[in-house]
């Protein structure tokens, strides 16, 4: 190689490195109904990669970290730069008869295994190298990581029979609604939250709250009041918790982790909790199959109706974001493979079209800052003849209570990835 060409290439690599470092040094901020990285509007295509903080904790650490690094490279190459992660699970074993993810950050009430945060250290460090942003949720409305029910069981507000017994939907609503009026439960949650916010990353050599890689902290995954009787306590908990996070992490964004008005069963309540000055942006989740938008569970026959309801749902919640003058992120959306198959080899015609529809709203409606599809499964694959996840299996996008392969986007889903990549390029 001629010396002059070598010098030119070295110069370009240096400039790219510097510009990348400058970008990573900027915290994401909100001004009105826009997100910004420095002075530049920030729009993104992202994914749910909740298990990313667990890969570095595998028994074979080297293997887990290599998988993480390879998948982050793959995501970056496809334009996916925003990842939603779990901070840590609560409790161990079964909950509602479901084997929960782990290892847990809080295996027993008030007792923390801080080694688990080394997994979060690793993923944040690797994301920093690739100029990616993280959204981190502290707890869970649902059983697959312990969440609110675990605090209720620890504090004997609900029976430990619910560790192995599966509740009906009405029973689950009754159970989880108790969290918001359980003072020791909320203190247990706050202790875990404070531990994470106070963490010094051993690899980046900075505190989480001083790391621009962390775009936002989320109160929980899909926190619902569950029963109208819990609404007031729910509102108070959201306001108190958002304020506590903002005090500790004023440079980073705070959001609730909400599904949209379906999660509150009230447009008014959804608007009220997002009006809080400490809540920086609005989130919505969209689940056509889970919400019964596919009549009879048939994808092909119900697809067009599901698309129409999706568009309506984005617009309905979007009007609230516009009214509040806050950005909105579509942070969960997913659709099964054709024929409701769990086989990675099955076609994804309807999913591809659905992703294209949802992603089209990012930046086209200027207040919609981004969309995180559910979910990336990378190199993992379902085990033939086994529907549900078991301890020791590879993590993928589908949590343990869902059929493995139901919503996961694998690294072999070429047509889906092309839809994602094309949208990312347009941003």
Nearest residue to 80 via CA among 120, 33, 40, 130: 130
Q: Tell which wins on pLDDT, 1 or 134.
A: 134
Asked if 208 and 197 count as a contact pair (C-beta separation under 8 A), the reply is yes
Average pLDDT, the chain: 94
Q: Is the model's pLDDT at 48 over the cut of 90?
A: yes
Please state the separation of Cα 370 from the chain's center in Å: 13
Cα–Cα dist 163/159, whole Å = 8
Q: Tell which wins on pLDDT, 189 or 296.
A: 189
Cα–Cα dist 339/407, whole Å = 13
pLDDT category, 107, cuts 50, 70, 90?
very high
Cα–Cα dist 342/406, whole Å = 5
pLDDT category, 13, cuts 50, 70, 90?
very low
Please state the separation of Cα 359 from the chain's center in Å: 16
pLDDT category, 25, cuts 50, 70, 90?
confident
Q: Is the model's pLDDT at 331 over the cut of 80?
A: yes
Cα–Cα dist 86/98, whole Å = 18
pLDDT given for residue 383 in this prediction: 96
pLDDT category, 24, cuts 50, 70, 90?
low
CATH fold of 41-426, please? TIM Barrel (3.20.20)
Phi and psi, residue 69, nearest 5°:
-60, -45
Cα–Cα dist 167/188, whole Å = 23
Q: Is the C-alpha dihedral spanning 106, 109, 110, 113 positive or negative?
A: negative
- Mean pLDDT across the stretch 291-314? 94
pLDDT given for residue 8 in this prediction: 41
Phi and psi, residue 332, nearest 5°:
-145, 130
Provide the 10 A C-beta neighbour count for residue 364. Answer: 10
Q: Is the model's pLDDT at 401 over the cut of 90?
A: yes
- Non-local CB neighbours of 200 within 8 Å, separated by 6+ positions: 206, 207, 208
Question: Does the global pTM surpass 0.85?
Answer: yes
Asked if 54 and 395 count as a contact pair (C-beta separation under 8 A), the reply is yes
pLDDT given for residue 18 in this prediction: 37
- Mean pLDDT across the stretch 384-403? 95
Cα–Cα dist 212/295, whole Å = 44
């Amino acid at each position: 190689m001629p010396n002059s060409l070598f010098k030119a290439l070295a110069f370009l690599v240096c400039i790219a490195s510097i510009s990348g470092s400058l970008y990573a040094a900027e915290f994401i901020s909100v001004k009105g109904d826009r997100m910004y990285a420095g002075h530049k509007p920030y729009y993104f295509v992202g994914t749910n990669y909740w298990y990313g903080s667990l890969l570095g904790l595998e028994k074979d650490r080297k293997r887990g970290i290599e998988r993480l690094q390879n998948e982050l490279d793959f995501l970056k190459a496809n334009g996916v730069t925003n990842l939603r992660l779990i901070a840590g699970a609560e409790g161990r074993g079964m909950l509602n008869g479901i084997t929960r993810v782990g290892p847990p950050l809080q295996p027993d009430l008030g007792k923390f295994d801080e080694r688990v945060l080394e997994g979060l250290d690793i993923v944040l460090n690797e994301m920093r190298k690739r100029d990616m942003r993280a959204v981190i949720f502290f707890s869970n409305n649902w059983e697959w990581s312990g969440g609110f029910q675990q605090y209720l069981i620890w504090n004997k507000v609900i029976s430990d029979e619910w560790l192995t017994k599966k509740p009906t939907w009405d029973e689950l609503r009754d159970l989880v609604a108790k969290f918001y009026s359980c003072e020791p439960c909320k203190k247990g949650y706050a202790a875990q939250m404070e531990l994470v916010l106070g963490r010094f990353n051993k690899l980046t050599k900075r505190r989480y709250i001083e790391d621009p890689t962390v775009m936002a902290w989320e109160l929980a995954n899909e926190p619902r009041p569950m029963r109208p009787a819990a609404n007031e306590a729910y509102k108070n908990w959201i306001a108190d918790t958002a304020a506590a996070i903002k005090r500790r992490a004023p440079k980073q964004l705070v959001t609730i982790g909400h599904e949209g008005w379906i999660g509150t069963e009230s447009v008014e309540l959804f608007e009220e909790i997002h009006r809080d000055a400490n809540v920086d942006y609005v989130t919505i989740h969209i689940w056509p199959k889970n919400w019964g938008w596919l009549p009879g569970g048939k994808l092909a026959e119900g697809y067009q109706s599901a698309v129409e309801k999706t568009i309506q749902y984005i617009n309905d919640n979007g009007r609230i974001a516009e009214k509040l003058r806050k950005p909105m992120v579509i942070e969960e959306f997913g659709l099964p493979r054709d024929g409701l198959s769990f086989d990675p080899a099955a076609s994804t015609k309807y999913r591809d079209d659905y992703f294209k529809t949802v992603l089209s709203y990012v930046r086209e409606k200027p207040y919609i800052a981004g969309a995180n599809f559910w979910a990336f499964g990378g190199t993992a694959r379902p085990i033939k003849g086994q529907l549900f996840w078991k301890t020791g299996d590879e993590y993928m996008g589908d949590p343990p209570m869902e059929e493995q392969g139901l919503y996961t986007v694998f690294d072999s889903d070429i047509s889906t990835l092309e839809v994602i990549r094309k949208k990312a390029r347009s941003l």
